[in-house]
Amino acid sequence: MPRRLAATGTKPRVDPVLPSTVKLSVNVSEEVGSRLRQIAFEQRLSESSIVEVALGLLFRRSDGPSLGTVLRQHGATLRRKPHKT
């Protein structure tokens, strides 16, 4: 575990090792984005950590073939930019 030295005269601080991450860019409705920002601000959490936990909970509750069905029942669609010709 990496160690970072703190200011002189204090004990070294051990920083947690964070798992590797990937960057995603997603579009969400204004309502969802506003609610996410509000929760992040009020709870003093990052938006990305809220999304990661929420997705993890979703994947644990409904994984496999039924996941697509559950998502579609709640308004999920295939979103793609139109091809340029």
- Average predicted confidence (pLDDT) for the chain: 83
Which distant-in-sequence residues (6+ apart) come within 8 Å of 68 by Cβ? 76
pTM: 0.67
pLDDT at 60 exceeding the cut of 50: yes
- pLDDT, tens digit, for every residue of 69-83? 889 999 999 987 777
Domain assignments of the chain as residue spans, ordered by start: 47-74
Task: Provide mean pLDDT across the span 16-39.
Answer: 90
Q: How does 11-45 read in b/e, with b if 16+ C-beta sit within 10 Å? A: eeeeeeeeeeeeeeeeeeeeeeeeebeeebeeeee
Task: Provide mean pLDDT across the span 38-54.
Answer: 96
pLDDT of residue 61: 84
